[in-house]
Amino acid sequence: MKRILMTGAAGGAGAFLRQELHGRYHLCLSDRIEITDCGPGESFVEADLEDPVLIRKSLSGVDGIIHLGGYSVEGDWHSILNANIIGAYNLYEAARLEGVKRIVFASSNHAMGFYDRNETINHTDVPRPDSRYGLSKVFGESLGQLYVDKYGAEVMNIRIGNVAERPIDARRLAIWISPRDLAQLVIMGLELPDLQYEVVYGMSDNKRAWWDNANALRLGYAPQDRSEDYASEILAQEAGNLGDPLADRLQGGVFVSTEFIPNPAKAKLSE
C-alpha cells in the first residue's frame, strides 16, 4: 500500500477524501492542528507548511502527496503569502529533496474567476485570478510546472469548484463536485502512468458548467454524479442572483466583487 502525505487533512476536502480513499493508501495526515481521530491506514504527521524542516521530515518514506493545505479562502496578503505561496514552495522543495515526484495540487476555480459566466473556458485559457487567494493558486500551478520542467516532478493540478455532498445554491450547480468524483481525480493524479503536468477542473458532470473539462476526460475521468439532479429543488428556492452585478456576471462570484474598484475610463469605453 502506498504511503501518501495529505496536507490540510483537517479541512473539509480532507475529511471527504479520507473517507473516499480509505483502504487504498496509507494516509499520512498533516495539518497545523493535531488530528486525533486517525483510523486504520492513517497516521498523523506533524507538519507546518511554513516550516521547511518539518515539511521535509513529514515526507520521509512517502510515495506521493495530496496538497490541500494552506489558507482556503480570501485573506490578507501576509496570511496568503505565508500559507499558500511560501508554504507551497516549501512543500515542492522538500519533495524534490526527498525524491517524492508525484504531487496532486488542489488548485481552485478562483484562479480563473474573472472570466464571464457566459464563456466556456478550458485548461489552456490564461489564468485570471479574482483574489489574493486565486493568485496564490496560479502561483502553485506555475510552481508545479517549474518543478516538472526542471526537476522531473509529476504534477496534477485540480481546479476545484466546490466539493460537498450536494450543491447548495445556483452558482454551485455550475461548479459542484461530489466527494467520490474528487477522489477519482485525485487517484488519477496519484496513479496515472507517464503523468508529467496536467490541469483539470474539479467538477462533476454538470450541465450548467462554465468549464470544458475535456482534458480530464482525455485522461480517463468518468464523473459519476450530476448537479442537475438537484437543480429543480435549488432553483425553486432562489433565482440565482445575489443582486451584486459583478458577482452575478463573473465566475468567481463574490471573490470578484470584494474590494473591486471600478475603472471609470474602462466603464466609459464599454458604454
* Contact indicator for 163, 17 with CB cutoff of 8 Å: no
Cell 505565508, residue located: 82
The Cα 197–Cα 23 span in angstroms is: 27
Given 25, 92, 133, 201, the catalytic residue: 133
Q: Are 134 and 110 in contact (CB under 8 A)?
A: yes
Other C-beta atoms within 10 Å of 231: how many?
16
DSSP state of 126: P
Phi, psi of 21 (to 5 degrees): -95, 0
CA distance 4 to 190: 9
Is 133 marked active-site? yes
125 phi/psi in degrees, rounded to 5: -70, 150
| 152, 162 Cβ separation under 8 angstroms | no
Question: Known catalytic residues?
Answer: 133
